[in-house]
Each structure stands twice: as structure tokens, then as C-alpha cells.
Amino acid sequence: MHAPDEADEAQRRSFFAIGFGAVLVAVALALVAVLARTDGTLVYVVDDPAIHLSMATTLAEDGTWGVHAGEFQSASSSPLWTLLCAALVKLVPGEGSWLPLVLNLVAAGVLLALFARSQTLLRPERRWLDRVVLVVLVLVVLFLPGLVFVGMEHVAHMALAVALVWLFAGREEQRPVGPAWLPYVLLAAGALVRFETLFLAAALGTGVVARQLLPGWRDGPARLGAALRTAVAIGLSAGVPVALFGVFNKAMGQGWLPNSVLAKSTATDGAGSSVSGWDTLEALARDPFVLVTWLLAVAYLVWAWRAARHPGTVVAAVTVVVTAALHAALASFGWYDRYQGYLVALGLWFTLRAAAEVVPAGQRGRAVLVLGIVGVVACPVKAQLLLDVPLAADNTYRQRYQAAQFLAEYYDGVPIATGELGYISLEHDGPIVDLLGLGNYDALQARRNGTDTPEFWGELTERNGVQVAAVYPTTLFFKTPADWVLVGEWTLGQRNVTAFEDNFQFWATDPDGVAPLREHLLAYESRLPDGVELQLNELADLTAERIRDAQAESG
């Protein structure tokens, strides 16, 4: 029979080998299917990774923080991730499209290593049921293969979040891991990987202090003072990097936060944000697994109210409750289930820890079965999204990637306008007016202030010398300038998973640009993927002539 330390080591090795092995197999199968659909081109399920790669390339080659050399734009929602990509682009020049996939696989390995080291409920080296449940948790609940193909910083953020709650929980139980400064450095890094780390920092500080204030958890006045100092250090570690980034952004003439955060956050979109209890629960319910683990954390805190329970688990429970509530009130869920990934990881980590503490040893097999059932029942959307990875990548390939290739070939060095910054900014060499504001602060401010009129868009694109706009129909919709002419559009030709709309349009911003744009679209038509159809606007010339007449009369 193994000694306890040998048994624990066997459990860790088995957990990691099965969990990470499942991720590698799923990613490999999805990658083969993606490449088969995209003519051997690695394309992600959304085009956002290309924004980071575009900024990383611009920074590495030209020293500019933005998507176009010489023009500062705070277009990255993850400054540290972009810096990491820039360093790798500099060190390994050439094809960078594989960087996000490789980085996400590394982050997934780190995340699963953290789970393997810090949980004892699942014993995959002993029970076949635990192996099955582990695979379900890794593939469906944590959704790691799907997030790998999202190609952004979310898996890294999940690993940082789990590492932080584990480190602070260990310190509460006088079982620290690593040097004392480690969690604070990780907090600073996490804040610049995802700004939602501020929610986590607030929750960790609350948990550390709350344990000293509530009945049954107190260690005395000295420990309360130490807890308060720890909470302040937590706040400073996460807050100072964000504040410094904000000062830098303001000094460069933009907002306190990156454009994408300002555009997407419910707290900064100019519409206000409800923080009522019911609305928070309703938001949490957008991801059933997040809601379930949030309720479990609340139940654990009620159960542990007066009893002296494991202080680390108490801190973890408070962290889950507060972080998820803040996220639900102030941030977003969804869009390939990426935004709440760190909440899912925190909730699962807490559940595994609390179950190992609460459930008697003889009943843990049943607890594992229940956990597996909850994972399947609560995550049907993720299961479908996982199966849809190849199709989702093909959606991106058929529209935004093709638009990038088209604009790079026929409008190289020419200013263009689009709402799809990703692959277009990566492939197109020239100024870009981002109509959604992620890469254009003026556009973002107009959208947030409600001054984005047709006249505003016409003046902005004219001032920047834009010749063509490549957009989804509703990007501007009724606010499209009157002197733009729709020349043609591409139809998706398949089930829509991640494309914003089935049609993608090309507009000439000047009547004289109609004929050249039509010729370019016709020349590119033979290179479109099977099923994508070009539909030309038969009234384009008539519309262009009418605009010329109106301009002549007004001139």
C-alpha cells in the first residue's frame, strides 16, 4: 500500500495525465477538422485573437501600441497578453497564427496542474467513474478545448484566478506555497491579463477580512489587523497596475480603460448598470454552472456561519460569491462562453475542495457522480459549442478572414473602414477606421455619447481618406452616410455560429469608387470558399449617379 505522500502524488499524476491528455486529443481532432474546412489555414472561432496579433506585430516591428504603425489606439483588452505575444513575435519572427493556440495549451496545462495539486475529491488513479467525470469537467465544464480555439487570454486568466485563490486559501490555513510575494505579483499580472481580476481582488480582500469578523472564524485582534493589511496589499497589487495603465492611456489622449473594455462593459457603456439582487441572479443564470457553484458557495457560508470550518475554504467561498456577483453586475457573459471562464474555474475549484471537506469518505463516489451529472446538465451550450468549433472557425474563415485577404490585395496601403478589426488589421497594411470603436477612440466616444450620426461617420471616414467600408449590415444600419454606395455582399452559405450576420457588405464611400470596388469583388469571386456567394447591387451605378447629381447641385 502506498504511503500517503505517494498516494497523493499518484493522484496528481493521474489527474493531470488524464485531464491534459483529454484536452490534447480534443484539440488535435478539432484542429484537423478546422484545417480541413479552411484550406489548411489556422483560423480561430472568432477574429479577436488577430487583434492581439496585429497589435503585437505593430509593437514588435514599429514600437506602436495600436493596430497601425504611428497611431496609438488602446485596442487590446489584455495588455499583458499582447505584450507577451509581441515578445514572442520578436523572438520567433514569421508565422504568428499558431502563437495563441500554443499559449492556450500551455495555460491549460498550468490550470490542470493547479487542480491536480490542490484537490483530493477526484481519484482517477483508483476509480473509472472519476476518470469519466474528470474528462467531462475538463472538456465541457471548463470548456478548455473550445477556449483554446477562441485563441485569447481567457485560459491564462482562469489559471491565474485558481492560483490566487489557492495561494491565499493556503495562507489562511498556515500552509503557504511559495514565497510571500508570489500571490501579489500574480495579482498584478492578472489585472493586466483581464481587468475582471479587480473583481477577484475585491473578493479575496473581503474573504480574508470577513473570516476575522464573523462568528466562529475570529483569531483575535492581532489577526484582524493582519487581515486588513493583507486586504490593502491585495487591493494595491491589482489596482496600481490598472491605475498606471489608465494614466498612460489618458496621457495618450484616450480613456482610463482600453477601448474594448469601455465598449463592452455594462458599467461603462453609458446605459447604466443595475446591481439589484434579482438582476444579479438573473445575470448569473446565463451560465447555469456558475449559478450552481455560486449557490453552493452561499450554502457553505451559511453552514459554516458559527462553526470553525477550514478557513481557506471559507475564503474561497467568499471569493466565489463576491467575484461572481460583481461580474454579473458589471461585466458580460457569453460570446463563445469565454468571459465567465474564470468564474467557472473558481466555482469548480471551490466545489471540489468543499466536497472533499464536507462529504464523508464513503460517500465521495456518489458526490463525484452528482458532480458529473450537474456538469452535463448545466453545460449543454458548451457541449454544442465544443462540437461546433470547426464550423465556427469556418464562419470566421468565410467572412472576416476572406475580407482581410481581399482588402490586403486590392486596398494595400489605402485607408479603409470596418467594424471587424481582427484579421483585417492583421493582414491589411494601411490606416483603419474602426466603426465599432475598439481601434478608434473617436468612434467609441461617438457611440457612447450617442453622437454617431450618418454625418459623423461620413465626416470621420472622409477626414481619414477612407475609400471602402467592409461591414456587417447592422454595423451602421440606419446611420450609414447618405453618399455611401453598397456595391456587393458575400453570403455565408452555412449555419451561423460565430458570424455576426449571414451577409458581409462592401460599400464605396464615394461614387467614383463604385466601379473599381465592383471589379475587385468580381476578380476575387473565384477565390471564395465553396458556398459563399457574391451578390452585386444592381442599383449601385444608379445610386452613384444620383449622389453625383446631388453633390453637383449642392456644390
Confidence band of 178 (pLDDT split at 50, 70, 90)? confident
Q: Collapse the DSSP code of 471 into the 3-class scheme (helix H, G, I; strand E, B; otherwise coil) and give the result.
A: strand
Closest CA to 354 of 291, 298, 280: 298
Answer whether residue 1 shows pLDDT above 60: no
So what's the pLDDT on residue 501? 96
Residue that the C-alpha cell 480534443 belongs to: 26
Last residue of a domain, one of 362, 387, 412: 387
Q: Give the range of the structural domain holding residue 322, as residue numbers without chain letter.
A: 154-387
**315 close to 297: Cβ distance less than 8 angstroms:** no
- Measured CA to CA, the distance from residue 414 to residue 91 in angstroms comes to 30
Look up the pTM and report it. Answer: 0.93
User: What's the pLDDT score for residue 172?
Assistant: 85
Same domain as 435, residue 383: no
User: Are 307 and 399 found together in one domain?
Assistant: no
| pLDDT band with cut points at 50, 70 and 90 for residue 272 | very low
Residue 458: name the closest of 482, 440, 474, 437 by CA: 482
Same domain, 189 and 263: yes
- pLDDT score at 274: 47
DSSP SS3 for 505? strand
Helices (H) and strands (E) in the chain, counts: 24, 6
Classify residue 79: in a domain, yes or no: no
How far is Cα 529 from Cα 531, in angstroms, rounded to an integer? 6
Pair (379, 408) in one structural domain = no
pLDDT higher than threshold 50 for residue 268: no
Statement to judge: residues 272 and 381 lie in one domain = yes
Same domain, residue pair 419 and 383: no
The 10s digit of each residue's pLDDT in 369-413 is 999 999 999 999 999 999 999 999 999 999 999 999 999 999 999
Does residue 51 sit within a domain?
A: no
How many structural domains compose the chain? 2
- Selection from 235, 262, 248 nearest residue 83 by Cα: 248
Tens-place pLDDT, residues 3-26: 457 778 889 999 999 999 999 999
